[in-house]
């Protein structure tokens, strides 16, 4: 019998067309709707990038003003979302809190089942506006701090930091945060986006697809890696310990979090931009020790294994310097990726085919109960 070929992990298998972003490992580039992500990160707000991902074009001034108004109007936590968050143990992982809160928001929405394009876009915008409050409030309540109300005079990134820390962040910090949101916004058929598309392909509602995507993002092989990077840094302590730590890690065949990528094999196109943002934060917070540690591990692991960092590697320490709890890093990624997820949900729904691959059966041969 000839072995039937399988494509483990769907590695290298194209499963559909997508016009949202192009990940090109040969040129080490990433385009959102045709625009290089580096240019967007240098010049555009996260709100503009969200509209670009959803609608395919950069917004006009009035389109942007509409989104800004909708986002500001949708920032406050609904009473029952807050009540459910309060009912969760403080020990719950913040990604579990995000997953649960998205479920409640979906249950609150009378149009949750409306599949029209207008209703889908309205749901995407509602989640985009609501996630910062959920992430910020959850970090605060874990520290026994009161909720900070959103401020209408602040933009998305300023307000996210305001609601988390209860003080206005310095412009350098706001800018590094904005850059991270733009870089995290979209990355084609990654595991969480694909999860969202699988769920959408059954004609389930957008909120169900996002809940599934949040679950997929949590894992350390995907979004959870930004959190894991910080645990690694905590374990290593300082740059002088890198070689000894790496000897042990490699001897025990440990995966080094924040390195490697399914698609990019010569480095992640987003890393130089995020690394530069990290350098600016290191200067702002006067923490050269953290950069030394990050660079020492990158250099040593690169020399020994030839494996390069992915976006989670500079993003983790950047969020740490801003003051976020390590467990909050992946929820921030979710708040950014809500834009890409919902763009893909809408794209999938517009040209749907149920996603249902085959398995090659390798269990026991047919047998019968009566012997
Ligand atoms: C934003 C994001 O979600 S980016 C991804 C974030 N995830 C991480 O940082 C987790 C750590 N990295 C990894 O686990 C992997 O690189 C993945 C899952 C991202 C991609 O993996 P795959 O494409 O499946 O490649 P795979 O895991 O088969 O790796 C190929 C080889 O490189 C090794 N390798 C890849 N990444 C790493 C790593 N981070 N540490 C140690 N070895 C690694 C593998 O052990 C494997 O070696 P082998 O051929 O000797 O068995
Ligand atoms: O594309 C992937 O597999 C993972 C990734 O980098 C992302 O989702 O940003």
pLDDT tens column, 312-341: 999 999 999 999 999 999 999 999 999 999
Residues, the chain: 371
Average pLDDT, the chain: 97
Can you give the pLDDT at residue 76? 95
Ligand 2: centre distance to CA 187 (Å): 5
> What single-letter DSSP state applies at residue 151?
-
**CA–CA gap between residue 140 and residue 142 (Å, rounded):** 5
Query: Could you tell which of 28, 188, 190 is best to mutate to test the pocket of ligand 2, judged by most ligand atoms within 8 Å of the CB?
Result: 190
**CA–CA gap between residue 82 and residue 76 (Å, rounded):** 10
Ligand nearest to the CA of 227: 1
Q: What is the mean pLDDT of residues 267-278?
A: 97
The ligand 1 site (C-beta within 6 Å) comprises 9, 221-223, 225, 255-262, 307, 310-312
Closest residue CA from atom 7 of ligand 2: 187
Tokens of 263: 């698609």
DSSP class per residue in 310-322? -THHHHHHHHHHH
Q: Is the pLDDT of residue 371 over 80?
A: no
Assign 142 to helix, strand or coil: helix
Annotated active-site residue in 109, 205, 268, 312: 312
Q: Is the pLDDT of residue 287 over 70?
A: yes
Can you give the pLDDT at residue 246? 98
Number of H helices, E strands in the chain: 16, 3
Question: Closest by alpha carbon to 164, among 153, 177, 175?
Answer: 177
Question: Closest by alpha carbon to 155, among 49, 78, 281, 312?
Answer: 49
Q: Is the pLDDT of residue 2 over 80?
A: no
CA distances (Å), 134 to each of 137, 158, 174, 214, 267, in order? 5, 15, 19, 13, 33
Q: Is the pLDDT of residue 1 over 60?
A: no
Sequence-ordered list of residues with C-beta below 8 angstroms from that of 301, at least 6 positions apart, any chain = 246, 256, 259, 307
Structural contact between residues 235 and 265, judged by C-beta atoms closer than 8 angstroms? no
Query: Could you tell which of 9, 185, 260 is best to mutate to test the pocket of ligand 1, judged by most ligand atoms within 8 Å of the CB?
Result: 260
Ligand 1: centre distance to CA 91 (Å): 29
Closest residue CA from atom 1 of ligand 2: 190
Sequence-ordered list of residues with C-beta below 8 angstroms from that of 219, at least 6 positions apart, any chain = 191
Ligand nearest to the CA of 314: 1
Query: Over pLDDT 70: what percentage of the chain?
Result: 99
Hey, what domains does the chain have and what are their CATH numbers? 21-217+328-351 (1.10.580.10), 224-321 (1.10.230.10)
**CA–CA gap between residue 327 and residue 93 (Å, rounded):** 7
Q: Is 264 left (phi over 0), alpha (psi -120 to 50) or beta?
A: beta
Whether 325 is catalytic: no
Annotated active-site residue in 109, 205, 222, 261: 261
Ligand nearest to the CA of 193: 2
Closest residue CA from atom 45 of ligand 1: 255
Q: Is the pLDDT of residue 3 over 90?
A: no
Rounded to two decimals, the pTM is 0.97
Strands ordered across the beta sheet of 35-36: 21-24, 29-32, 35-36
Tokens of 209: 């697809």
Ligand 2: centre distance to CA 340 (Å): 11
Query: What pLDDT band is residue 11 in, cutting at 50, 70 and 90?
Result: very high
- Give pLDDT tens digits for 230-263: 999 999 999 999 999 999 999 999 999 999 999 9
Whether 261 is catalytic: yes
Place of tokens 């749901």: 123
- With the C-alpha atoms ordered 247, 249, 252, 258, is the resulting torsion angle positive or negative? negative
Ligand 2: centre distance to CA 37 (Å): 14
Strand partners, 21: 32
Question: Closest by alpha carbon to 106, among 73, 142, 130?
Answer: 130
Ligand 2: centre distance to CA 174 (Å): 24
- Give pLDDT tens digits for 169-219: 999 999 999 999 999 999 999 999 999 999 999 999 999 999 999 999 999
Question: Closest by alpha carbon to 275, among 179, 169, 178?
Answer: 179
Assign 45 to helix, strand or coil: coil
């Amino acid at each position: 019998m000839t072995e039937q070929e399988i494509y483990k992990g769907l590695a290298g298998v194209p499963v559909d067309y997508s016009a949202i972003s192009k990940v090109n490992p040969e040129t080490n580039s990433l385009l959102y709707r045709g625009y290089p992500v580096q240019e967007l990160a240098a010049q555009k707000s996260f709100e503009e990038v969200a509209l670009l991902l959803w609608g395919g074009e950069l917004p006009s001034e009035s389109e942007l003003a509409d989104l800004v108004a909708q986002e500001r109007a949708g920032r406050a936590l609904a009473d029952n979302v807050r009540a459910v968050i309060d009912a969760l143990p403080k020990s719950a992982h913040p990604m579990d809190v995000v997953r649960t809160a998205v479920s409640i928001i979906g249950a609150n929405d009378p149009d949750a089942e409306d599949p029209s394009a207008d209703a889908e876009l309205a749901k995407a915008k509602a989640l985009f506006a609501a996630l910062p409050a959920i992430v910020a409030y959850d970090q605060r309540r874990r520290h026994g701090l009161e909720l900070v109300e959103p401020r209408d005079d602040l933009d998305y990134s300023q307000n996210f930091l305001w609601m988390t820390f209860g003080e206005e962040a310095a412009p350098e910090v706001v800018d590094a945060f904005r850059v991270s949101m733009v870089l995290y916004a979209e990355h084609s058929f990654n595991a969480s986006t694909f999860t969202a598309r699988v769920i959408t392909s059954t004609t389930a509602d957008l909120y169900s697809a996002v809940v599934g995507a949040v679950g997929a993002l949590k894992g350390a092989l995907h979004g959870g890696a930004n959190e894991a990077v910080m645990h690694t840094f905590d374990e290593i302590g300082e740059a002088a310990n890198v070689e000894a730590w790496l000897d042990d890690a490699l001897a025990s065949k440990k995966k080094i979090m924040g390195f490697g990528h399914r698609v990019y094999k010569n480095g992640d196109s987003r890393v130089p931009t995020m690394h530069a943002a990290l350098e600016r934060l290191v200067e702002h917070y006067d923490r050269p020790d953290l950069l030394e540690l990050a660079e020492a591990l990158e250099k040593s692991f690169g020399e020994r294994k030839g494996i390069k960092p992915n976006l989670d590697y500079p993003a983790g320490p950047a969020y740490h310097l801003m003051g976020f709890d390590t467990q909050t890093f992946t929820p921030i990624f979710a708040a950014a990726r809500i834009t890409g997820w919902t763009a893909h949900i809408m794209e999938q729904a517009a040209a749907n085919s149920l996603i249902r691959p085959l398995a090659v059966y390798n269990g026991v041969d047919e047998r019968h109960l009566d012997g």
